[in-house]
Structure formats: structure tokens, C-alpha cells
Amino acid sequence: MNRIVYVNGEYLPEENAKISVFDRGFLFADGVYEVAAILQGQLIDNEQHMNRLRRSLKELNMPSPADDATIEAIQKELIRINHVDEGVVYLQVTRGAADRDFAFPENSAPSLVLFTQAKDIINLPAARTGITIVTTEDIRWGRRDIKTVALLAASMAKMFAIRSGADDAWLVDRNGYITEGCSSNAYIVTQDGTIITRQLSNEILHGITRNAVLQLADKEGLRFVEQPFTVEDACQAQEAFVTAAGIFVLPVITINNKVLGNGTPGPISTRLRSIYIDMALKQV
Ligand code: PDD
């Protein structure tokens, strides 16, 4: 692959891009990231992603490597030189390189890395078939609202799903309530057509797609509530879906092998995916 990536001021072929072994992102997962969707070569909801990046940096008292306009210019340049029509752009900021010490360094220069990943989002095959979900314990730390690169617990949950023969995992807190998916926000639709998704707190990532989808649901006159729901509620649901930047809205067809509705993507999930895509295409 001859992809060009961005590392600390340079555009380089990916095999030549290097980060210090002392980078705190590598040693302490002391870094934050964002993933924004690209449709027709244009960024979707990027201002919201930048706002969340600023919030993540502030919560961790991490210096910023560049202002929003500079970062956006890099995102656009990578999309252009890599000819990405549809996919995502990943960006990561770490506290930079410093001799290993648990205390934050006084004057480290933050690292900035960006790369693109081309992939189908609108014609994602899983959007037609729906995905299967298994639930597993949420063993992540207590600040899931900060989008840090400490993703091992999420990665282990994903592997649990794959080994269980499912597509993805939903995470369950110690009270038996679902927090979110391992890389998405989670929703169920009750038998009477009410959408339920967990309320915003430090327990979940404040998804940019979640925010947009709830606004669209409101405009459509769909009923939704933001409150905890249990694994049992999920298994009794009429339909379910997940949202994230690289997938938009994806219908869920089974949870822990319990078939939801008639086992195909439900009407509300399908409708929300369609109006979300319409909204996103208006930005390009
Ligand atoms: N993940 N919850 C978690 C734990 C996530 O990792 C993500 C996104 C979301 C959805 O957020 P948004 O709608 O802003 O993408 C919710 C990204 C896509 C990733 O890690 O690849």
C-alpha cells in the first residue's frame, strides 16, 4: 500500500512514518483520537469531532499540537493525496516523547499523527443484513467520555464477540445495564416503538453520530428516551441498532442469539440510517 500519512509536520509514505519509543502514547496510552467519516471526499460533522478533541485534550490537561484550522487542512490534504472518496480519517494526539515517568512531563511537544482509511460506508454490506451482538462485561476505566487510545478492553470485547461467532459486543456495567458498543453507541427500540439509548455521562463516549441521530429522530417525530437499559430489555426489544462515524447507523438483528423482530433490519433503524445518510450527503 502506498498510503501517505502525516506525522509531526511531515507527509510520508506509511513505511517511513516513525514515532519515538518514548512517546507517551506508546508507553502510557497517554493520547486521544478522533475518527471522522469521509463521503465524496468531504469530511462529515468535522466541527463536532474537533470540539470533542478539544474537550478530550482539556480533560487530560494535554497540550494541543495545532489549531483546528491547521488540523482540518491536514485532514483535507491527506484525503486529497490519497484519493479517498469514502472512508475515514483518523487523527491522534499524544503528550509526546519524554523519559518514562508516571508524572506528566513539563515541556513535552505533543505528537500529531493522521491517516486515512478508504472503505464503503453507504454501501456497507452489514447495513443490508444487520449485525449480531453478544454482551460482555464492561471492564473499561471510568472516563469513557474521553476518547483515549487506551482501547485494549474494547479490543478484548471485540475478540470475545468474534470468538462467540458474533459481529460485535455490547458492554454491560456492574448493575446489568448496557453502556455502549465496544466502538459504537447502542440503542434498542421497544415493542411500542420507543428508542432507548443510555444517557450521557462519564460511562459512555458522547458520540457525534449519536447526537446527530437523536436530533434527526426528534425531527422525524420518533419517540426516544435517554436512560439505562438492561440486557433483558435488549433481548425483548423489537429492534436495535448502533451508531459510529465509520458505520453511521447499523441495524442489529440478534442479541445473545435472541432474534429481534423478524430477524432483519427493523423499520426504525433502516429509516434512521437513510435520513442520516441524506443529512450527511447535504454536507458534501
Ligand atoms: N469509535 N462509543 C465508543 C466506545 C466509540 O469508540 C465510538 C466511536 C462511539 C461512536 O462515536 P462517534 O459517533 O463519534 O463515532 C461510541 C470510533 C469510530 C473508533 O474508535 O473507530
48 pocket-lining for ligand 1 (C-beta < 6 Å): no
pLDDT tens by residue, 96-131: 999 999 999 998 999 999 999 999 999 999 999 999
pLDDT surpasses 80 at 224: yes
Strand boundaries in the chain, DSSP class E: 4-7, 10-13, 31-39, 42-43, 87-94, 111-118, 131-137, 168-172, 178-181, 185-189, 195-197, 224-226, 239-244, 248-255, 258-259
Strand boundaries in 86-142, DSSP class E: 87-94, 111-118, 131-137
Q: Where are the domains of the chain?
A: 4-118, 125-281
pLDDT of residue 1: 67
111 pocket-lining for ligand 1 (C-beta < 6 Å): no
CATH class of 4-118: alpha beta
Best mutation site among 184, 202, 247, 249 for ligand 1, i.e. most ligand atoms within 8 A of its Cβ?
184
Instruction: Look at residues 169, 154, 183, 155 and name the one whose alpha carbon lies nearest to residue 90.
Output: 183
Give me the chain's average pLDDT, please: 98
Q: What mean pLDDT do residues 168-193 have? A: 98
Paired with 5 in beta bridges are: 12
pLDDT of residue 195: 98
Nearest residue (CA) to ligand 1, atom 3: 183
Identify the helix (H) or strand (E) that includes residue 34. strand 31-39
Give the CATH architecture of domain 125-281.
Answer: Alpha-Beta Barrel (3.20)
Paired with 231 in beta bridges are: none
Give residue 242 CA to ligand 1 midpoint distance, Å: 10
Structure letter (DSSP) for residue 202: T
Residues assigned a catalytic role: 147
Give residue 184 CA to ligand 1 midpoint distance, Å: 5
* Strand 239-244 relative to strand 248-255, pairing: antiparallel
Reported pTM: 0.98
pLDDT surpasses 70 at 242: yes
184 pocket-lining for ligand 1 (C-beta < 6 Å): yes
> Which atom from ligand 1 is nearest to the alpha carbon of 210?
13
pLDDT of residue 113: 98
Give residue 106 CA to ligand 1 midpoint distance, Å: 31
Question: What are phi and psi for residue 72, nearest 5 degrees?
Answer: -65, -35
pLDDT of residue 130: 98
Identify the helix (H) or strand (E) that includes residue 225. strand 224-226
Question: What is the spatial distance between Cα 102 and Cα 70, in angstroms, rounded to a whole number?
Answer: 30
180 pocket-lining for ligand 1 (C-beta < 6 Å): yes
* Strand 131-137 relative to strand 168-172, pairing: parallel
Fill in the amino acid letter for 171.
L
pLDDT of residue 16: 97
Instruction: Look at residues 272, 126, 270 and name the one whose alpha carbon lies nearest to residue 213.
Output: 272
Q: How many CA atoms lie within 13 A of 162 on its CB side?
A: 7
Instruction: Look at residues 39, 2, 72 and name the one whose alpha carbon lies nearest to residue 282.
Output: 39
From the centroid of its chain, how far is CA 26? 21
Question: What is the spatial distance between Cα 21 and Cα 109, in angstroms, rounded to a whole number?
Answer: 14
Paired with 135 in beta bridges are: 170
Nearest residue (CA) to ligand 1, atom 11: 207
SS3 of residue 6 by DSSP:
strand
Tell me the pLDDT band of 68, cut-offs 50, 70 and 90. Answer: very high
